[in-house]
Structure 1
C-alpha cells in the first residue's frame, strides 16, 4: 500500500493511492464477508405487518448474538450505574427503528469501497465522498477484526509468530495504517 496523496482539482479534491494485487484481493474478501454478515442480520429480522402498509422498514429488536455484529451494531443506551430503570426496552425499540438504516449505511460504504477498489491492484483515485466511504468501511472492518482478536485499549500489539491469529493481527494493523493515512489526507489543507 502506498500513502494517500491529496490532489486538488477543479472538480474538488482527489485522493490517490495504490494497492498490490494481494492487498486488493484481501480487502475485497474482507468487505464481501462483512456485507454477508450484515445481509444475514438484516434477513433475520421478523416480518412486520405495519412495514407492508407504511413502507417503513423495521429491524430486529433483539441484539445480535454474534460478538462481531454486537460490535458493529451496538446497543443505543448502556445502563447507568445509578439508574433504576433497565434499558432493554429502550434499546429494543431504537434497534427496531434504526438498525435497518444503520445496516444500509454500512453496506453502502462497503459497496462504494468495492466499486472503487482496483481489480487486481494498482493505482486508483477517489473523490472526497468515496474517500469518506472508504474510511467508514475500513473502520467497520477493523471493528469486526478487532472483536475477533479481542483487541482492547491494552492491545495486543504483537502475537507470537506461531499463534494461529498472528496473521489476522497483521491484517488489523495494515487496515489501521490504511485508514490513518487516508484520514490524514482527508484532513490535509483545504
Structure 2
C-alpha cells in the first residue's frame, strides 16, 4: 500500500493511493464479511407492528449474541455512564429496557450507515489492485468501514488498550494480527491526509 496523497482540485480534495492485487482482494473480502454480518443481524429482526402500520423501521431489541457483532453494535447505555454528580442514580434506571428501546429505534439506521460506508469501499477499491482516487466523502467512508473491520478483528484478537502488539511465532492468529496492523496504518495515513490543509 502506498501512503495517501492529498491533491487539491477545483471539485475539492482528492485522496490517491495504490493497492497491490492481494491487498485489494483482502480488503474486499473483509468488507464483504462485515456487510454479511450486518445483513444477518438485520434479517434477525422480526417485523414490528409500528413498522407495519406507520412504516417506521424498527430493529432488534436484544443485543447480538456473538461478541464480534456486539462490538459493532454495542449497547447505547451502560451502567455508570452518567458519571459522578448525576442527580439520577443508575440503580433507578431500567438499563435493559432503555437499551432495548434505543436499540429498536436506532440500530436500523446504524446498520444502514455502516453498510453504506462498506459499499463505498467496495465501489472504489480497485478489483485488480493499482492506483485509485477518493473524494472527501469516500475517504470518510473508508475510514468508517476500515474502523469496523478493525473492531471485528480486535474482538477476535482480544485487543485492548495494552495490545497485544505481537504474538509468539506459530500462534494461530498471527496472520489476523498482521492484517489488523496493516489496516491501522491504512486508516491512520488516510486520517492524516484528510486533516492536511491546502498550502495554496
TM-score with structure 1 length normalisation?
Answer: 0.98
Is 1:71 paired with 2:71? yes
Structure 1 portions without partners, runs of 5+: none
Is 1:96 paired with 2:96? no
Q: Give the deviation of 1:161 after TM superposition.
A: 2.2
Secondary structure of residue in 1 paired with 2:6: strand
Q: Deviations over 1:161-189 (max 9, x none)?
A: 20000000000000000000000000001
Q: Deviations over 1:82-123 (max 9, x none)?
A: 621331100000000000000000000000010000011000
Report runs of 4+ in structure 1 exceeding 3 Å deviation: none
Which residue number in structure 1 is paired with residue 159 of structure 2? 151
Is 1:139 paired with 2:141? no
Cα distance in 1, alignment partners of residues 120 and 147 from structure 2: 14
Query: Size of the alignment, in residue pairs?
Result: 190
Secondary structure of residue in 1 paired with 2:2: coil
Q: Give the deviation of 1:13 after TM superposition.
A: 0.2
TM-score with structure 2 length normalisation?
Answer: 0.93
Q: Is the CA contact (8 Å cut-off) linking 1:79 and 1:86 kept in structure 2? A: no
Counterpart mapping for 1:24-173 below 5 A: 24-80=24-80, 83-84=90-91, 85-173=93-181
Which residue number in structure 2 is paired with residue 5 of structure 1? 5
Secondary structure of residue in 2 paired with 1:56: coil
Secondary structure of residue in 2 paired with 1:137: helix
Cα distance in 2, alignment partners of residues 90 and 42 from structure 1: 20
Cα distance in 2, alignment partners of residues 167 and 144 from structure 1: 14
Indicate the larger mover: 84-93 or 29-38.
Answer: 84-93
Q: Is the CA contact (8 Å cut-off) linking 1:51 and 1:57 kept in structure 2? A: yes
Q: Is the CA contact (8 Å cut-off) linking 1:3 and 1:181 kept in structure 2? A: yes
Cα distance in 1, alignment partners of residues 2 and 183 from structure 2: 13
Flag the 1:5–1:126 CA change in 2: closer, same or farther, 3 A. Answer: same
Indicate the larger mover: 124-133 or 52-61.
Answer: 52-61
Secondary structure of residue in 1 paired with 2:16: strand
